[in-house]
């Protein structure tokens, strides 16, 4: 088994074929959760799993599991996986790499005629991105018991369409219960989505932790009025309030270095007319830090800034923290398996904390879990130019194979 090698070319070709689903002119993908292009990508993944001899199960949140039996069906499965959905201007590798690397491990075991003791599963988790439906990682969250099924299915996009409706529409409202079953271990391979591995010249990231996140939704309500006759002193300009908070969020991030991240990514002003003072603005805030206490300090600073600006500008404020995902420490034995696999394969590697959230963060609550990172070019992700190399893709898949075999023996 020690010289078993994945077929890197087959993995790369599968990535390129899958990237056709939602392909954008700039070379990225727009494959928002539960849209028709997500369905098409899901259908292709299911077909590939079946062609690889896997039994495919879909659960009530649309999570997909391809299962390869082992000698001992009573053993909990060793699972690999990630997500198929993307950001609106996403890349060809975020999420789908971990899904297809898992499939490649199964294809490689098939080619070699290797039977593992434990069953092996490859999974794809619904709406990891939290772009179309908030929050992120919602379906792995239901699997891990963080959210109940009703909450998960009720999550609606900005047009008010719910995940439950969309799962029915695209035919992925599965019958299987979500979670409540033992998973022997979970490994998620993923691009780093940051610059560290490439800048420092490492091939593999041994992910020990993931930072915590808090997501908020804010609505400022002022008063629509004419941009001409309305004196500056009597305005209640909701967009002015949002502008001050956008600057305050950036300053909160800078004030909690190292490591803090703070972002306003989504904003909707109304009536969005060039000569009307904006009466209503909806926007989101994303705060992150690997230390929970510092993340709480950032939360406190945000709430203070919101109160102050609403008072200054004379705005009504509706404010909700819609999501809190605490920092995660992954499983020591799984971390060791990944590190050992990188060493056995002769890949340079370093321990690191994930800046992004991943389904592994929630699966870690119900199974021994860790992650494998590969570099991405210039550390860019959540961008159509997201890129990595066949060598890095192969290396990550090879480490995944070894780590999984260690746990599935
Ligand atoms: O936001 C994140 O960290 C992930 O991409 N969902
Ligand atoms: Mn991802
Ligand atoms: Mn992402």
pLDDT, tens digit, for every residue of 28-85?
999 999 999 999 999 999 999 999 999 999 999 999 999 999 999 999 999 999 999 9
CB 361 within 8 A of CB 66: no
Please work out whether the CB of residue 130 comes within 6 Å of at least one atom of ligand 1: yes
Average pLDDT over residues 111-115: 97
Contact present, 279 and 232 (Cβ < 8 Å)? no
Is the distance from the beta carbon of residue 356 to the nearest atom of ligand 1 less than 6 Å? Answer: yes
| Percent of the chain whose predicted confidence (pLDDT) is above 70 | 100
Cα 274 to ligand 1 centre (Å): 33
245, pLDDT greater than 80: yes
From the CA of 356, give the closest atom in ligand 1.
3
Query: What atom in ligand 1 is closest to the CA of residue 286?
Result: 1
Summarised one tens digit per residue, pLDDT across range 353-398 is 999 999 999 999 999 999 999 999 999 999 999 999 999 999 999 9
CA distance 64 to 359: 13
Nearest to 393 by CA among 377, 369, 381: 377
Largest pairwise CA distance in the chain: 79
Element containing residue 336 per DSSP (H, E)? helix 332-344
Q: Is the CB of 28 under 6 A from ligand 1?
A: no
* Ligand 1 atom 6 nearest Cα: 129
Task: Give which of 300, 380, 336, 375 is closest to 91, Cα–Cα.
Answer: 380
Please give the domain boundaries of the chain with CATH numbers for all domains. 8-211+327-408 (3.40.630.10), 212-325 (3.30.70.360)
Query: Which ligand gives the minimal distance to the CA of 95?
Result: 2
Query: 10 Å Cβ neighbour count for 46?
Result: 17
Identify the pLDDT of residue 16: 98
The pair of three-digit structure tokens given for residue 134, joined into one six-digit string: 């908030």
Name the CA dihedral angle for 95, 384, 270, 280, rounded to a multiple of 10 degrees: 50
Ligand 1 contact via 357 beta carbon (within 6 Å): yes
Both tokens of residue 176?
């299987």
Q: Is the pLDDT of residue 217 over 80?
A: yes
Please report, for residues 110, 114, 188, 283, the alpha-carbon distance to residue 360 in angstroms, rounded to integers and kept in the order given.
Answer: 26, 26, 6, 28
Local confidence band at 401 (pLDDT 50, 70, 90 cut-offs): very high
Q: Is the CB of 128 under 6 A from ligand 1?
A: yes
CA of 189 to the centre of ligand 2 (A): 10
Q: Which structure tokens are listed for 321?
A: 């923290």
Predicted local confidence at residue 1, as pLDDT: 62
What is the mean pLDDT of the segment spanning 313-320?
98
pLDDT of residue 409: 84
Does ligand 1 lie within 6 Å of residue 90's CB atom? no
The answer to whether 138 and 130 have CB atoms below 8 angstroms apart is yes
Q: Which atom of ligand 1 is nearest to the CA of 137?
A: 6
Q: Given its phi and psi angles, is residue 22 left (phi above 0), alpha (psi -120 to 50 degrees) or beta? A: left
Identify the pLDDT of residue 28: 98
E strands in 110-254: 120-125, 185-191, 204-210, 212-221, 225-226
As a whole number of angstroms, the distance between CA 210 and CA 382 comes to 18
Over the chain, what is the mean pLDDT? Answer: 98
DSSP assigned state of 90: B
Q: Determine how many CB atoms are found less than 10 A away from the CB of residue 409.
A: 11
Percent above pLDDT 90 for the chain: 99
Q: How far is the CA of 344 from the centre of ligand 3 (A)?
A: 29
Ligand 1 contact, 129 CB (< 6 A): yes
Asked whether residue 117 carries a pLDDT value surpassing 70, the answer given is yes
Radius of gyration of the chain (CA): 22
For ligand 1, is residue 248 a contact (CB within 6 Å)?
A: no
> What is the whole-number distance in angstroms between the Cα of residue 169 and the centre of ligand 1?
25
Using alpha carbons, select from 112, 1, 116, 100 the residue that is nearest to residue 68.
Answer: 116
* Nearest atom, ligand 1, residue 357 CA: 3
Nearest to 305 by CA among 234, 254, 258, 247: 247
Comparing CA positions, the residue from 156, 124, 161, 163 lying closest to residue 140 is: 124
3-state helix, strand, coil in the chain (%, to 5): 35, 25, 40
Residues around the ion ligand 3 (C-beta < 5 A): 94
Give CA–CA dist 214/318, Å, rounded: 17
Q: Which ligand is nearest to the CA of 136?
A: 1
Which of 78, 63, 82 is CA-nearest to residue 401?
78
pLDDT at 264: 98
- pLDDT at residue 2 tops 80: no
- Cα angle for residues 185, 189, 192 (degrees, 5° grid): 135
What mean pLDDT do residues 161-166 have? 98
pLDDT (average), residues 228-248: 98
**Tokens standing for 184?**
């022997």
The residue whose CB lies within 8 Å of the most ligand 1 atoms, and thus the one to mutate among 128, 134, 326, is 128
pLDDT recorded at residue 224? 98
Ligand 1 atom at minimum distance from 87 CA: 5
CA neighbor of 205 nearest in space, from 327, 56, 370, 360: 370
Q: What number of other Cβ atoms are within 10 A of residue 270's Cβ?
A: 15
């Amino acid at each position: 088994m020690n010289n078993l090698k994945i077929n890197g070319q087959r993995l790369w070709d599968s990535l390129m074929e899958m990237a056709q689903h939602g392909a954008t002119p700039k070379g990225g993908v727009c494959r928002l959760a539960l849209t028709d292009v997500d369905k098409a990508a899901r259908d292709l993944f299911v077909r590939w799993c079946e062609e690889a001899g896997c039994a495919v199960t879909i659960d009530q949140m649309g999570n997909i599991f391809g299962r390869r039996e082992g000698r001992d069906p009573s053993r909990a499965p060793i699972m690999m996986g990630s997500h198929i959905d993307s950001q609106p201007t996403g890349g060809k590798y975020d999420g789908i790499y971990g899904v297809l690397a898992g499939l490649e491990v199964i294809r490689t075991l098939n080619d070699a005629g290797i039977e593992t003791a434990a069953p092996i599963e490859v999974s794809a988790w619904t709406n990891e991105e939290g772009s179309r439906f908030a929050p992120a990682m919602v379906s792995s969250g239901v699997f891990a018991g963080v959210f109940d099924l009703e909450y998960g299915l009720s999550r609606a996009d900005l047009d008010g369409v719910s995940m439950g409706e969309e799962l029915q529409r695209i035919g992925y409202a599965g019958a299987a219960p979500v979670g409540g079953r033992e998973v022997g271990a979970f490994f998620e391979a993923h691009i780093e989505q940051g610059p560290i591995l490439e800048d420092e010249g490492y091939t593999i990231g041994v992910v020990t932790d993931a930072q915590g996140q808090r997501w908020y939704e804010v609505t400022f309500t002022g008063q629509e009025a004419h941009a001409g006759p309305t004196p500056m002193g009597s305005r209640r300009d909701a967009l002015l309030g949002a502008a001050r908070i956008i600057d305050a969020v950036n300053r909160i991030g800078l004030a909690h270095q190292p490591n803090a991240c703070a972002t306003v990514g989504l904003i909707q002003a109304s009536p969005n007319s060039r000569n009307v003072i904006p009466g209503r603005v909806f926007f989101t805030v994303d705060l992150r830090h690997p230390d929970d206490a510092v993340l709480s300090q950032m939360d406190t600073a945000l709430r203070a800034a919101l109160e102050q600006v609403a008072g200054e500008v004379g705005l009504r404020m509706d404010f909700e923290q819609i999501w809190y995902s605490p920092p995660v420490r992954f499983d020591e034995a799984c971390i060791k398996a990944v590190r050992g696999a990188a060493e056995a394969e002769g890949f340079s590697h370093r321990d690191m904390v994930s800046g992004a959230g991943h389904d592994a963060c929630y699966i870690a609550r119900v199974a021994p879990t860790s992650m494998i990172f590969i570099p991405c070019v210039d550390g860019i992700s959540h961008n159509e130019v997201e890129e990595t190399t066949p060598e890095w893709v192969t290396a990550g898949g090879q480490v995944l194979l070894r780590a999984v075999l260690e746990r599935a023996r």
